[in-house]
Amino acid sequence: MPPSTDGITRVRVRPLAFDLGSGAPAGSPGAYEVTWDSTQAGRCHQVYVNGQLAGVTARPQDRRLAVLGPVGRGGGLSLVCVEVVAVDAADRRTDFSADLTGFSPACGPRVLLAWEAGLYLGEDLESFDIFADGRTGTVDYSQPINEAPLPAAMPGAPPWGFGCGGYGVGGYGLSAAIYEWIIDGLEPGTWRLAVVARDAAGNRLATAAEVTADVAPVPRPVGNFRVASYSAASRMATLAWEPSPDV
């Protein structure tokens, strides 16, 4: 079975240690305790930190793991993305970071566009272009936001989706092909995006398909994270922080 996040809830991340003697604000040394709930019985769990495999549970019943990770790209209060996925025991050491979509090194929201080639397109379909409105409400078709045309089929390969659907059920041949493209780093707000199909000469083959996407900002992290009190007798620390203004 492929890695899955189904049934994984209540993921919690806590720093493992604090510097209580330097007089400086307490911070994580780069080690974290990650806990979670999971209904994935019989499967092991992997923890990824900022898109990189950081640890693997030893037993399927484990719901706690200590991992190493950066304090944050911009210091102790920067965002650190932690993801927990369930995998088969045989795959517990396999790195699935290429399949994860929750973290992007280029910080910013991501939008996934998906579309069908469409029954109206023939064998002259060559590529697609993506256009955006820059949050103005009107798509600017003068310049696509993709650096190069998105090919409709790989050279020398049969049309994507060939044979899919069958008679009377969905598309067939090239019209059944499904395409996806990810846009990184969009500013928060409402965007209008469009997909344009073209032939080999660059001519538009059909009316552009437009869609609206509401892009939410990445929440700002908590502030003034500190140790409010510490009991040497019980070795218990009380933590305090200011909540994120976006949560």
167 plus 200 within the same structural domain: yes
114 plus 209 within the same structural domain: yes
69 plus 121 within the same structural domain: no
| CA gap 44, 53 in Å, rounded | 14
* Contact (CB, 8 A) for 162 and 153: no
Residue-level pLDDT, tens digit, the chain, 247 residues = 888 999 999 998 887 765 555 555 455 556 788 999 999 989 999 998 877 888 899 999 999 998 877 643 333 434 567 889 999 999 988 988 877 755 444 445 668 888 877 766 667 888 899 999 999 999 999 999 998 898 887 544 444 554 554 444 445 556 667 788 888 777 888 999 999 999 889 888 888 889 998 887 666 666 777 888 888 888 888 888 887 766 5
| CA gap 200, 202 in Å, rounded | 5
How does pLDDT run across 22-55, given as a tens digit for each residue? 555 455 556 788 999 999 989 999 998 877 888 8
- The predicted structure's pLDDT at residue 35: 94
The answer to the question of residue 55 being in a domain is yes
Q: Which domain holds residue 45?
A: 8-104
The answer to the question of residue 224 being in a domain is no
The answer to the question of residue 229 being in a domain is no
100 plus 127 within the same structural domain: no
21 plus 58 within the same structural domain: yes
Nearest to 127 by CA among 203, 182, 211, 194: 203
116 plus 55 within the same structural domain: no
184 plus 205 within the same structural domain: yes
Residues 6+ apart with CB under 8 A from 207: none
Cα atoms in the 13 Å half-sphere on the side-chain side of 151: 8
Length of the chain equals: 247
Helix (H, G, I), strand (E, B) or coil at 205: coil
Instruction: CATH number of the domain at 197, please.
Output: 2.60.40.10
119 plus 172 within the same structural domain: yes
Using the 3D structure, point to which of 75, 104, 133 is the last residue of a domain: 104
Nearest to 51 by CA among 87, 92, 102: 102
Share of the chain above pLDDT 90, in %: 26
Instruction: CATH number of the domain at 34, please.
Output: 2.60.40
**Both tokens of residue 113?**
């566009």
The answer to the question of residue 123 being in a domain is yes
| CA gap 126, 135 in Å, rounded | 29
25 plus 91 within the same structural domain: yes
Please give the tally of structural domains in the chain.
2
The answer to the question of residue 236 being in a domain is no
The answer to the question of residue 228 being in a domain is no
| CA gap 82, 96 in Å, rounded | 14
**Both tokens of residue 80?**
């650190």
33 plus 85 within the same structural domain: yes
196 plus 151 within the same structural domain: yes
The answer to the question of residue 12 being in a domain is yes
* Contact (CB, 8 A) for 191 and 215: yes
Using the 3D structure, point to which of 54, 83, 104 is the last residue of a domain: 104
Using the 3D structure, point to which of 78, 104, 130 is the last residue of a domain: 104
The answer to the question of residue 222 being in a domain is no
Nearest to 80 by CA among 90, 69, 88: 69
| CA gap 66, 69 in Å, rounded | 10
53 plus 131 within the same structural domain: no
**Both tokens of residue 174?**
């090239």
